[in-house]
Amino acid sequence: MQSTRSPDGSDIVYERHGDGQPLILLHGGMAPREYWLPVIPELEEYAAIVPQRPGFGTCLDDIDGTGPDEVLDRETEYVRELAAAVDGAPVLFGHSFGALTAVESATVADVDAAIAYEPAVLPAAYRETADLAARMQALLDEGERREAVKRYVEQVLHPDGVDDLDAWLAEWPVWPDCVDLAEEVVRMNRAVERYRLPDRLDVEAPVLVMSGTDGPDFLRESARAVHDALPHSRFVEFDGISHSGPAEAPARVTAEVDAFLDG
Task: Please tell me whether the overall predicted TM-score, pTM, comes out greater than 0.75 for this model.
Answer: yes
Report the distance separating Cα 48 and Cα 123, nearest Å: 32
pLDDT at 190: 87
Is the distance from CB of 102 to CB of 92 less than 8 angstroms? Answer: yes
The answer to whether the CB of 117 falls within 8 A of the CB of 99 is: yes
Spans of all domains in the chain: 2-123+197-262
Pairwise CA distance, residues 236 & 246, whole Å: 13
Alpha-carbon gap, residue 56 to 54, rounded angstroms: 6
Sorted by sequence, the CB contacts under 8 Å of residue 124 that are 6+ apart come out as: none
Please count the residues of the chain.
263
CB 252 within 8 A of CB 237: no
User: What does pLDDT average to in each consecutive run of 10 residues of the chain (263 residues)?
Assistant: 61 85 89 83 94 54 50 84 90 95 95 97 88 92 93 82 86 81 83 91 97 92 97 97 93 97 90
Side by side, the strands of the sheet bearing 113-117 are: 2-5, 11-17, 46-52, 21-26, 91-95, 113-117, 207-212, 233-238
Q: Is the dihedral of CA 9, 14, 18, 24 positive or negative?
A: negative
The architecture of the domain spanning 2-123+197-262 is: 3-Layer(aba) Sandwich (3.40)
Q: Compute, in degrees rounded to 10, the torsion defined by CA atoms 19, 4, 66, 97.
A: 10
Q: What is the pLDDT of residue 58?
A: 39
Res 129: pLDDT: 86
CA 21, 226, 29, 108 torsion: positive or negative? positive
The pLDDT score that the predictor gives to residue 38 is: 93
Angle at 27 between CA 40 and CA 132, to 5 degrees: 145
Phi, psi of 203 (to 5 degrees): -120, 115
> DSSP code of 195?
-
CB 199 within 8 A of CB 105: no
